[in-house]
A = this chain, B = another copy of it.
Amino acid sequence: MSRRPAAILLVSCPDRQGLVATVSGFISRHGGNIIDLEQYVDHEAGVFFMRVEWELDGFALDAGTLPQAVAELAAPLDMEWRLYFSDQRPRMAVLVSRHPHCLLDILARVQAGEWEVELPLVISNHPDLEPFVAPLGIPFHVLPVTPDTRRAQEQRMQALLEENGVEFLVLARYMQILTDAFVARWPGCIINIHHSFLPAFPGARPYHSAHARGVKIIGATSHYVTAELDAGPIIEQDVVRVTHNDSVEDLVRKGRDLEKLVLARAVWKHLQRKILVHGNRTVVFE
């Protein structure tokens, strides 16, 4: 985590000779000191990915002029790019239903100042978890969803998110399926936690399925939400060992800790601007 203001540039483009030299030369030429650079080439797809972070102290361009300069650098290389500044705290919304564990874990991290993030609101389709959120002074919006009201409620949600300047959403065991239309408005910006080691046990009740199958390890998967259920680009996974002796209730208990941890790691990577999405895969830099 850099303390002095830094710029972070994420790029991807068709692979060709000289890309690292071009981008690092650009930064160097304007007096930037690179503090982190990671690159990856998908040789099969012929795509180049890079994340580079440099200090703004002594750098000749500022937040006003840098985007245009990057755009000019990127255009001839067919480069997609995103630019972030480390001193701008992203604004995150959390969506929940009735399971408190992921929400409480996120609230604890926010309270303790572990994450450089703003949490202007929590949204739920149930009122149950409001008592955990209200004492912290964070607005808790209840938007109950039925098949008939789904679209209307999503519009209200979209309005709330826009009003609050939200940049990305975290589904902390939110048990509603978002419509394709909603998902399409937030590409690479909705992080979900699924309580299985995907692609095993997608959909509902994965712990029951895992128990029935007699697996010796259970997992949790955090991924970006796409139109297809539980099939979006995976950000992070982890597992925990179970035995024949673990009932479904035990799997649920062990799984809760896993879900919290995997979701928190995914949010951390997202906040660090370490993730690039390419098709259905993620590049997650160290």
Residues of A participating in the B interface, judged by any CB pair closer than 8 Å: 1, 17-22, 24-25, 27-29, 31-44, 100-101, 104-105, 108, 111-112, 114, 132, 135, 197-201, 213-217, 219, 233-239, 241, 243-245, 247, 249-250, 253, 256-257, 261, 264, 280-284, 286
4 residue pairs, one from A and one from B, having the closest CB atoms? A214-B281, A104-B108, A21-B28, A200-B200
Q: Contact: B217 with A199, CB < 8 Å?
A: no
If over half of A's interface residues share one DSSP class (helix, strand or loop), that class is named, otherwise mixed; here it is mixed
By a CB distance below 8 angstroms, the chain B residues around A213 are 198-199, 234, 280
Chain B residue contacts of A38, Cβ below 8 A: 38
Chain B residues in 8 Å Cβ range of A214:
233-234, 280-282
Once A111-B100, A112-B101 are accepted as A-B contacts, the answer to whether A17 and B37 lie under 8 Å apart by CB is no
Chain A to chain B contacts (Cβ below 8 Å), 23 pairs: A20-B20, A20-B28, A21-B21, A21-B24, A21-B27, A21-B28, A35-B41, A37-B39, A100-B112, A135-B135, A197-B197, A198-B200, A199-B215, A213-B280, A214-B281, A216-B234, A216-B237, A216-B284, A217-B239, A239-B239, A243-B284, A257-B261, A286-B286
Pick the contact of A243: B24, B35, B44, B286 (CB < 8 A): B286
Contact of A1 among B32, B36, B219, B249 (CB under 8 A): B249
Pick from B17, B217, B249, B250: contact of A31, CB below 8 A.
B17
* Residues in chain B near residue A236, CB distance under 8 A: 216
Bound-complex Cα distance A21 to B190 (A) = 35
Q: Which residues of B contact A249 (CB under 8 A)?
A: 1
